[in-house]
């Protein structure tokens, strides 16, 4: 168990092959909302808020290891990147004056990229219960 005293929060932890939480040897398992193992749900939603360093309370003998930590890390990193990319593109779109054909063309190009990255981020958020499916989706959905 991972206890976050300062945050009045606790979460389960599981031994994992990757995507370990802070300075522990466990992957974080959110117990208040759907999320991928090893990924606090607030990270998927674009929040930089992080829980404090937890107190690790061992429970049981810990013989099970989660073997998809690297996939959940990839998904979380992609969600963070997609959120940042779509935010940046939205700001760039807002700054373009639409007073010439060239500017309108650039705006349309940015809009297409914005929708690509927003669609990816939204897909990840709406499928937090399906690690395998999201990982497969990302293999084909990421823009070149």
Give the distance between the most distant pair of CA atoms in the chain: 67
Q: In terms of domains, do 78 and 136 share one?
A: yes
What pLDDT sits at residue 109? 95
Q: In terms of domains, do 47 and 82 share one?
A: no
Residue 83 — very low, low, confident or very high, per pLDDT cuts 50/70/90?
very high
pTM of the predicted protein model: 0.87
Half-sphere exposure in the Cβ direction for 72 (13 Å, CA): 26
Domain count, the chain: 2
Which residue, 33, 3, 39, 4, is CA-closest to 18?
A: 39
What pLDDT sits at residue 33? 83
> What is the SS3 assignment for 51?
coil
Write the DSSP string, 72-122.
Answer: HHHHHHHHHHHHHHHHHHHHHHHH---SSHHHHHHHHHHHHHHHHHHHHHH
Boundary of a domain, candidates 45, 66, 87: 66
pLDDT at 102 over 80: yes
What pLDDT sits at residue 134? 98
Q: In terms of domains, do 13 and 32 share one?
A: yes
**Domain range enclosing 7:** 2-66
Q: In terms of domains, do 73 and 41 share one?
A: no
Q: In terms of domains, do 135 and 86 share one?
A: yes
Q: In terms of domains, do 47 and 97 share one?
A: no
pLDDT at 8 over 90: no
Q: How far apart are CA 117 and CA 52, in angstroms?
A: 30
Do 54 and 103 meet the contact criterion of CB atoms below 8 Å apart? no
Q: In terms of domains, do 53 and 11 share one?
A: yes
């Amino acid at each position: 168990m991972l206890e976050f005293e300062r945050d009045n929060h606790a979460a389960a932890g599981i031994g994992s092959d990757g995507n370990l939480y802070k300075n522990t040897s466990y992957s974080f398992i959110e117990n208040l909302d759907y999320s991928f193992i090893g990924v606090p749900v607030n990270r998927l939603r674009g929040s930089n808020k992080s829980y404090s360093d937890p107190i690790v309370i061992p429970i049981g003998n810990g013989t099970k290891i989660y073997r998809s930590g690297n996939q959940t890390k990839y998904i979380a990193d992609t969600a963070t990147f997609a959120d940042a990319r779509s935010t940046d593109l939205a700001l760039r779109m807002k700054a373009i004056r639409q007073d010439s054909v060239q500017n309108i063309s650039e705006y349309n190009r940015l809009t297409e990229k914005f929708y690509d990255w927003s669609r990816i981020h939204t897909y990840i958020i709406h499928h937090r219960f399906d690690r395998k499916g999201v990982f497969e989706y990302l293999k084909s959905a990421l823009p070149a």
